[in-house]
Structure 1
Amino acid sequence: MITIDGLTRDRGKTRILHEVTFRARPGRVTGFLGPNGAGKTSTLRLLLGLDRPRAGTALIDGRPYAAWDRPLTVTGALLDGSGAHRSRTARAHLRWVATGNGLPRSRADEVLEIVGLTADAGKRAGKYSLGMSRRLGLATALLGDPRVLILDEPINGLDPAGIRWMRGFLREAAAEGRTVLLSSHLMGELAETADDVVIIVAGRVVADGTLAEVVAGHPSLEDAFLAHTAGEGTSW
């Protein structure tokens, strides 16, 4: 369970988040939707303890991220890039992260298989395509078999087959009872994935509910989702 209440953040003299409040629940994929610069990544960074809010709280299963002794076993996160040094192989990177979190090194090969990178495990991260880097980042997030997944634009850089795989993976994760929070600026990206949708614009939550409720309350969103299913695709 992700609980965000009254989250407010300033950058210099500019307020970039205005009392952001929403929930992401177990067993559901929550889409966090908004245009570029709306405050999605800022919210996720606060949730992961990478920045400090001016006011409000961001909790994972009732605690701040930093309060967990072994956070990787509770929360897996994918933000920008894979997190791996360009000179390290995917397997070496994952084994290093696993060791640092008290996890067996064998877990590296398990998550490489889950994300479809086994054949490229010995390739240096600097040689990876954008889509492969996203898969490696996801593999890192999965090392601790976490019950909460926080993913920032995870489909970015994936080819059509990779997008289908990612959607299936996210649905399976929710079916296993995990909490999945997925950010995107592509409205159509959530049409076949999200159970719930939170829309943020200019640092303010403007809609929050099930996918059906949000689409019904915003006709322009419904048009966007219909355009996506017809193969046109739509973004903010």
Structure 2
Amino acid sequence: MITIEGVSRVRGRARILHEVSFEARAGRVTGFLGPNGAGKTSTLRVLLGLDRAQGGRALIDGRRYVDLDRPLTVAGALLDGSGAHRARTARAHLRWMAASNGLPKRRVDEVLELVGLAGEAGKRAGRYSLGMSRRLGLAAALLGDPPVLILDEPVNGLDPAGIRWMRAFLRDSAAEGRTVLLSSHLMGELAETADDVVIIDHGVVKADGTLAEVVGSHATLEDAFLARTAGEGASW
């Protein structure tokens, strides 16, 4: 389970996050929804120990990410890009990551096959398309077969077939008991994938509940979002 409690972050004089609180539970896909600049990535970076919060705490199964001994076996994360050096091949990048967490080499080929990159494993990461880079980033997140997945805009750059594959993968991961936290600005995609939804805008959580609870009497998730953020000047 992921627990975000009262997380606040300030950059200079700008308030990035203000007492953000929500949970992502095991066996469910939690959609983290908001426009670009709403605070989604900042929240995930705090959760992963990449940014420092001025208040609150962000925990994975009750522990901070930076306190995990072998983090890839607990939580897999996909943020911007693949994380690979442009000059490295996909296989070399993943083997380095596997070695850092004491994972067997065979796991590298397993995740490359899983994300559809087995035939491109010898290609340098700098020659990958955006969609292929996202797949490589997902392969890295899956190396340790973690019970928690933290994915920031995972369908970015994927073609329609890739989006369908990602949607099925996320649903299957939740069905296997994993905690899946998925950030996106694509409301239609979350409506097709998420069990629970957290709406954030201007660094403030505007709604948190099951998809049905958040949508409520509104016709669509988009209508629900616009109602929750009316007067905030949100732009998509």
Aligning the two structures, in what range does the TM-score lie when normalised by the shorter sequence?
over 0.9
Q: Would the alpha carbon gap of residues 128 and 224 (structure 1) be closer, same or farther in structure 2, given more than 3 Å must change?
A: farther
CA contact 1:187–1:224 (8 Å) conserved in 2: no
- SS of alignment partner, residue 21 of structure 1: strand
Q: Deviations over 1:118-149 (max 9, x none)?
A: 01111111110000000000000000000000
CA contact 2:191–2:221 (8 Å) conserved in 1: no
CA contact 2:187–2:222 (8 Å) conserved in 1: no
The residue aligned with 2:133 is: 133
Task: Give the letter for the 1:85 counterpart.
Answer: H
Shift of 1:219: 4.9
- Per the normalisation by structure 1, the TM-score is 0.93
The residue aligned with 1:46 is: 46
Shift of 1:56: 0.1
- SS of alignment partner, residue 63 of structure 1: coil
CA contact 1:198–1:209 (8 Å) conserved in 2: yes
The residue aligned with 1:232 is: none
The residue aligned with 1:147 is: 147
Partners of 2:78 and 2:107 in 1: CA distance:
18
The residue aligned with 2:71 is: 71
- Per the normalisation by structure 2, the TM-score is 0.93
Equivalent pairs counted in the alignment come to 227
Q: Would the alpha carbon gap of residues 172 and 126 (structure 1) be closer, same or farther in structure 2, given more than 3 Å must change?
A: same
Q: Deviations over 1:7-47 (max 9, x none)?
A: 00001011110100000000000000000000000000000
Task: Give the letter for the 2:116 counterpart.
Answer: G
Show structure 1 runs of 4+ deviating over 6 A. none
The residue aligned with 1:165 is: 165
CA contact 2:214–2:224 (8 Å) conserved in 1: no
Partners of 2:180 and 2:90 in 1: CA distance:
24
Shift of 1:70: 0.5
Shift of 1:221: 2.6
Task: Give the letter for the 2:59 counterpart.
Answer: L
Shift of 1:189: 1.1
Shift of 1:224: 8.3
Shift of 1:218: 4.9
- Residue segments in structure 2 that go unaligned for 5+ positions in a row: 226-234
Identity level (%): 80
- SS of alignment partner, residue 192 of structure 1: helix
The residue aligned with 2:95 is: 95
RMSD between superposed Cα atoms in Å: 1.5
CA contact 2:34–2:199 (8 Å) conserved in 1: yes
- SS of alignment partner, residue 192 of structure 2: coil
CA contact 2:147–2:179 (8 Å) conserved in 1: yes
Question: In the alignment, is residue 216 of structure 1 matched against residue 189 of structure 2?
Answer: no
Question: In the alignment, is residue 124 of structure 1 matched against residue 152 of structure 2?
Answer: no
